[in-house]
A and B are shown apart, each in its own frame.
Chain A
């Protein structure tokens, strides 16, 4: 290796150094462009947050100013007072949390089975679940609605939680993580007389913490953000979720601009918090599954 580098013609070495210099300017240019681009992407957030803290009268007088003489929380307190935003938070929070818990349990169970158990029909099962990846649930709200009415589940949290748990993506995430656990470890536990349940619960599940956090975060974000299905299922004002409740504010009378924007900020705040805390897991999770 060293001899090879030493024997390279000096001319070539010079050229590569020049290229490094050239690529340094290129890198600097790339950094500048991308920073401007990223700042542009932050404008809608920044503008919304700033405006939501300005008094309503100032916004009417000068809508796009980014300065205020009287910063105020007025719009935020009004958003809580005028809307049922507290209820919406509670509903969204309960639905998302319960969905996360159920999805992790149900999908890790079958993921473990597919990875480590030898049973008849396993391969067919994997293909059937794989086919489920192709089913576009957003397109099926009408038959879904009719089915849920027949089951008597309309208007309940379960109508939102149960469909969220049937997630083929989560199954495959868990299966691939369980597959990463060496067979010897499991066979050793079997020889020691551990039941499959104990192997799953005490040996394997604790080793799949990255999968648990990836699936949890994704389930939380998708159930929190779901719009059309909750719009159809939860029709009482107090039973609505954050996105459905907020969508009613557009064009509503008696709500001023600052209040609308403050509500928008309140709607995105919990998710932004989740994202900032877990950004690494989220982006890695996307990279490893690639499924929306």
Chain B
């Protein structure tokens, strides 16, 4: 294309866009409105409702706000031992699962990057569990964990190891949900790592191989450093996902023996929907909500800054 042909076209475009700025405004908001209404009602809405009722003595079953109690719900929540226990359980679950779910998928993805043929097999084997509903996973693992007759009990007993009481003891229950969760969600992080590994140009490795770097050296000095941003992303997503644990602990263990593995979401569920203390449960919700938002906000700001520096 030559300059002589483009010049008039550009001029024409400029005039049309200047003429239609007003119409662009209207069209822009028309295109945005359906989403904004849903976003406002169903994403922002619950946050505001939670904030409001956390200051009231609301009962979950009644269609009224109840009496204004100022910060009473918050002082009650923050002074409640059961609330802090459940916070600790969610944190402990995070501490138990995050190391496995950040490191193991990385190892598997690096191994997979060395394999040329039949990659679909690994993708299916590792990722298929992730699309399975939590209830199916819980039903399957309840069978595997069954005392005496379950697969875990038979295999561990067969090789002479002590068999933990998976569903009846606190430690066994933590082990049970950790194994289940690693099996279930492993594939998601595996896929994230695999995609990042494919973005590393092949010639980086070739250059290193020509310079005489062994497979192990290549991995340590090329692969892992280049994957650092992805490792950070996986770590963050995994911490947030693990802190939000509910399904598997609730379905498989119903909160564990004497609620010794009950996570925060189940605490909110129990206080809000079993004892109907809506205002109180809303205060617990807001405390928990603030912690989660703070973690993601810190992460977002940190990555933005790093992106701006680079």
Q: Which residues of A contact B (CB under 8 A)?
A: 12, 15-16, 19-20, 22-23, 26-27, 30-31, 33-35, 37-39, 41-45, 47-48, 51, 63-64, 105-107, 109-110, 112-114, 117-122, 125, 129, 132-147, 149-150, 162-163, 165-166, 168, 171, 187, 190-191, 196, 200, 221, 224-225, 227-228, 232, 242-247, 249-250, 257, 260-261, 263-265, 267-268, 271-272, 274-276, 279, 282-284, 286-288, 290-292
Whether the pair B111, A34 counts as a contact (CB closer than 8 A) is yes
Whether the pair A139, B112 counts as a contact (CB closer than 8 A) is no
Chain B residues, Cβ within 8 Å of A232: 273
Whether the pair B195, A227 counts as a contact (CB closer than 8 A) is no
* Secondary structure type dominating chain B contacts: helix
Whether the pair A166, B293 counts as a contact (CB closer than 8 A) is no
Whether the pair B50, A140 counts as a contact (CB closer than 8 A) is yes
Nearest neighbor of A271 in chain B, beta-carbon distance:
B131
Given contacts A141-B268, A260-B139, whether A23 and B209 have CB atoms under 8 Å apart is yes
Given contacts A38-B121, A38-B122, whether A225 and B133 have CB atoms under 8 Å apart is yes
**What 6 A-B pairs are tightest by C-beta distance, nearest first?**
A119-B28, A287-B195, A143-B50, A113-B31, A38-B125, A246-B135
Q: Does B171 contact A (CB under 8 A)?
A: no
Most buried by A among B44, B49, B108: B49
Smallest CB separation, B176 vs chain A (Å): 13
Nearest neighbor of A276 in chain B, beta-carbon distance:
B124
Smallest CB separation, B66 vs chain A (Å): 11
Given contacts A30-B111, A166-B35, A286-B188, whether A136 and B135 have CB atoms under 8 Å apart is no
Cβ-defined partner of B135 (8 Å) among A163, A200, A267: A267
Smallest CB separation, A110 vs chain B (Å): 4
Whether the pair A134, B115 counts as a contact (CB closer than 8 A) is no
Which range contains the number of B residues in contact with the other chain? 35 or more
Within 8 A of A (CB), among B282-310: 282, 285, 288-289, 292-293, 296-297, 300
Whether the pair A196, B293 counts as a contact (CB closer than 8 A) is no
* Secondary structure type dominating chain A contacts: helix
Whether the pair B186, A41 counts as a contact (CB closer than 8 A) is yes
Nearest neighbor of A130 in chain B, beta-carbon distance:
B300
Smallest CB separation, A221 vs chain B (Å): 6
- Between A and B, 16 residue pairs with Cβ closer than 8 Å are A12-B210, A34-B122, A112-B31, A133-B296, A134-B293, A138-B244, A140-B285, A147-B46, A190-B16, A196-B31, A200-B31, A250-B142, A267-B135, A271-B132, A272-B128, A287-B196
Q: Does B13 contact A (CB under 8 A)?
A: yes
Chain A residues, Cβ within 8 Å of B215: 22-23, 26
Given contacts A33-B111, A109-B34, A246-B133, whether A286 and B191 have CB atoms under 8 Å apart is yes
Chain A residues, Cβ within 8 Å of B300: 134
Cβ-defined partner of B27 (8 Å) among A43, A117, A287: A117
